[in-house]
């Protein structure tokens, strides 16, 4: 759960603060996971692999960010979807590196500074790291940079006219978001000891998006609430007598219902104090 919290918090920077909807989160999450999987199995230390994943993600997020400078709204959303799908296809097809649909298994545990962590110890480290990310994101959103992001969400042209470099801000927001997701991805790889293309596909991106908007895009605690709700709610299904395949489908159905419900009843999310019906993004252009 804390791993997803890290992803959600970083997505919040882009989607919540800057108001840009990105469905490529799964791809960056997966990028970190696969990098860790490949490097750690090749014998590299965990922290180095994690750092490698984060750096690659930050650099590759430029790939999304560049179109972000020229296109907005739906077109940008399609770009993020395209990137997400491209990642999934590569993960599925570049079998020599990624193992294709079968994925990579038996990933060694997280071992910062050479000390392998399992079970409770790993959990504690994850929580600590999540707390650090939380504080970082909170401070970031209150900093002048955070104000620029809010400005570009509310009125991009106006902010530019006031001297703010909105282009650089967008690129940086994407980089932070991608890096955060990759960071979490590497933890996830250690946690499940197994990665495959389906753990990091479009539905994961959609789930992350739902988490952010459910809790309140742009708020500091929103993503946490979102993660809490969306990790606990599906547990209900465990108590219902459902045939195995149905449970997974039911969970996705729940996400769909929540997407509609949040937008209908409380688009600004649970925690947001902003006036209603302004969840994300600026006025329709």
Which of positions 25-64 make contact with other proteins (CB under 8 A)? none
- Per rule CB under 8 A, is residue 255 in the interface with other proteins? yes
Measured N-to-C along each axis, helices 202-215 and 2-11 cross at an angle, to the nearest 10 degrees, of 80
3 state SS of 194: strand
Query: Strands, E, within the chain: which ranges?
Result: 104-105, 194-195
Q: Give the contact letters, 213-242, x = binds to other proteins (CB under 8 A), - = no.
A: x----x------------------------
Interface mask (CB under 8 A) for other proteins, residues 161-200, using x and -? Answer: xxxxxxxxx--x----------------------------
135 vs 193, beta carbon nearer other proteins? 135
> 36 or 272, CB closer to other proteins?
272
- Span interacting with other proteins, options 32-40, 50-58, 202-210, 224-232, rule CB under 8 A: 202-210
Applying CB under 8 A, the span of 4-12, 43-51, 136-144, 225-233 interacting with other proteins comes to: 136-144
Strand, coil or helix: 195: strand
Count of positions on this chain that bind other proteins (CB under 8 A): 81
Gap between the Cα atoms of 133 and 284, Å rounded? 32
Number of H helices, E strands in the chain: 12, 2
Residue 143 contacts by C-beta under 8 Å, 6 or more apart in sequence? none
Residue with tokens 């965990």: 46
Q: Is 102 in the site for other proteins (CB under 8 A)?
A: no
Contact 4, 177 (CB under 8 A): no
User: 138: which residues sit within 8 A by CB, 6+ positions away?
Assistant: 220
What is the rounded distance in angstroms from the CA atom of residue 11 to the CA atom of residue 260?
Answer: 20
Using the rule CB under 8 A, give the single segment among 54-62, 75-83, 115-123, 224-232 that binds other proteins.
75-83
Residue 244 as a binder of other proteins (CB under 8 A): the answer is no
Residue number with CB closer to other proteins (87 or 191): 87
- CB nearer to other proteins: pick between 109 and 278: 278
Q: Taking CB under 8 A as the rule, does residue 78 contact other proteins? A: yes
According to DSSP H, which parts of the chain are helical? Answer: 2-11, 25-41, 46-70, 73-93, 95-98, 119-142, 144-154, 156-161, 166-192, 202-215, 222-232, 244-265
Among 62, 86, 97, 124, indicate the residue that binds other proteins (CB under 8 A).
86
Map the footprint of other proteins across residues 111-130, applying CB under 8 A: none
From 107-115, 187-195, 230-238, 247-255, span contacting other proteins (CB under 8 A): 247-255
């Amino acid at each position: 759960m804390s791993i997803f919290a890290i992803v959600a918090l970083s997505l919040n920077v882009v989607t919540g603060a800057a108001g840009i909807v990105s469905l490529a989160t799964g791809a960056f999450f997966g990028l970190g996971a696969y990098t860790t999987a490949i490097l750690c199995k090749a014998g590299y230390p965990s922290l180095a692999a994690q750092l490698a994943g984060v750096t690659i993600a930050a650099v590759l997020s430029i790939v999304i960010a560049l179109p972000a400078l020229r296109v907005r709204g739906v077109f940008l959303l399609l770009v993020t979807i395209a990137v997400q799908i491209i990642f999934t296809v590569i993960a599925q097809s570049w079998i020599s590196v990624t193992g294709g649909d079968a994925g990579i298994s038996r990933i060694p545990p997280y071992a910062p500074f050479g000390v392998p962590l399992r079970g409770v110890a790993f959990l504690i480290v994850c929580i600590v790291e999540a707390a650090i990310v939380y504080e970082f994101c909170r401070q970031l959103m209150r900093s002048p940079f955070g104000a620029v992001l809010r400005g570009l969400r509310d009125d991009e042209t106006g902010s530019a006219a006031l001297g703010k470099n909105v282009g650089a801000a967008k690129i940086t927001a994407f980089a932070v978001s991608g890096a955060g997701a990759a960071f979490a991805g590497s933890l996830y790889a250690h946690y499940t000891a197994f990665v495959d293309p389906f753990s990091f596909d479009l539905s994961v991106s959609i789930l992350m998006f739902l988490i952010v908007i459910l809790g309140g895009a742009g708020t500091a605690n929103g993503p946490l609430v979102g993660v809490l709700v969306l990790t606990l709610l599906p547990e209900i299904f465990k108590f219902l007598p459902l045939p195995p395949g149905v449970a997974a489908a039911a969970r996705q159905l729940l996400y769909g219902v929540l997407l509609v419900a949040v937008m209908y009843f409380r688009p600004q999310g649970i925690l947001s104090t902003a006036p209603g019906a302004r969840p994300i993004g600026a006025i329709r252009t």
